Amino acid sequence: MTTPDATTPDATNPGAAPARSNGARAAGQRDPDRRQRIARAAIDVVAEVGVEKLTHRRVAAAAGVPLGSTTYYFKTLDDLLASALRQAADDDVEHLRTWAAGLDAGGDLAEALAELVLHYLGPARAQTAVEHQLYIAALHRPALQHVSQEWDTALADLFAGYTDAGTGRALSVLFCGWQLQGIVREQLPERREVEASFRRQLGR
């Protein structure tokens, strides 16, 4: 956005002091958004090749920044993964709040939830895949666990706003379950089936 050199020729520039003959960003220029841009690039990398192939170099290439940049902003790979997870969680909660804001107050919640599940397994499938990978990645990184926990707590709280705490939690569990089972199948679950499960969980 603020970067005038969006087409960074990362592979070029072998010389130590290029003197900026091309459009590459020269060292020393500030770029405060870069950190977040790198984190988002990490999310893209996870979406494309999976969390086990996340490397500094791949992220650097995806973000269009030199390798040194990724190690400058994120001391270790785990730091980078942590930021990616946080970013993904934030983006997701933001999206959910928007969804909730547009929800018809007197509408059918079960129907809306089924719609949401199908959205996450259809148009937003890549995002869902990333989130589950990051969620699972937290298993062996204690520092990340609270991010994952906050993520599904936010989900449960959101749903609880339309019912009660216990039901909200159960709805979030069911929601995650549909996402998880749907993400490894190419065929989407039937809307009717998803909706029925939510309806039963809502107790009517």
Partner DNA sequence: GCCATCAGTGTACAGATGTACAGGTCTGGT
Partner DNA sequence: ACCAGACCTGTACATCTGTACACTGATGGC
Interface positions with a second copy (CB under 8 A): 49-52, 129, 132-133, 135-140, 145, 148-149, 152, 166, 169-170, 172-178, 180-181, 183-185, 193, 196-197, 200-201, 203
* Both tokens assigned to 204: 């009517």
Question: Which stretch, 75-83, 116-124, 128-136, 181-189, contacts DNA (CB under 7 A)?
Answer: 75-83
Which of 37, 40, 56, 169 binds DNA (CB under 7 A)? It is: 56
157 binds, among a second copy, DNA, none (CB under 5 to 8 A by kind): none
Label residue 94 left, alpha or beta by phi (over 0 means left) and psi (-120 to 50 means alpha).
alpha
CA angle, corner 67, sides to 66 and 69, nearest 5? 70
Coil vs helix vs strand at 175? helix
Under rule CB under 7 A, residue 152 binds DNA: no
Q: Are 141 and 78 in contact (CB under 8 A)?
A: yes
Question: Which stretch, 21-29, 114-122, 129-137, 161-169, contacts DNA (CB under 7 A)?
Answer: 21-29
CA distance 157 to 168: 6
Q: Are 169 and 156 in contact (CB under 8 A)?
A: yes
Under rule CB under 7 A, residue 39 binds DNA: no
Under rule CB under 7 A, residue 167 binds DNA: no
Name the residue nearer to DNA (CB basis): 34 or 40: 34
Distances 143 to 79, 118, 122 between C-alpha atoms, Å: 10, 31, 31
126 binds, among DNA, a second copy, none (CB under 5 to 8 A by kind): none
For 177, list phi and psi in degrees, rounded to 5: -60, -45
Which of 10, 115, 150, 152 binds DNA (CB under 7 A)? It is: 10
Name the residue nearer to a second copy (CB basis): 69 or 148: 148
CA 173, 176, 180, 181 torsion-angle sign: positive
Which residues make up the interface to DNA (CB under 7 A)? Answer: 1-3, 5, 8-10, 13-20, 24-32, 34, 53-58, 65-69, 71-72, 75-77
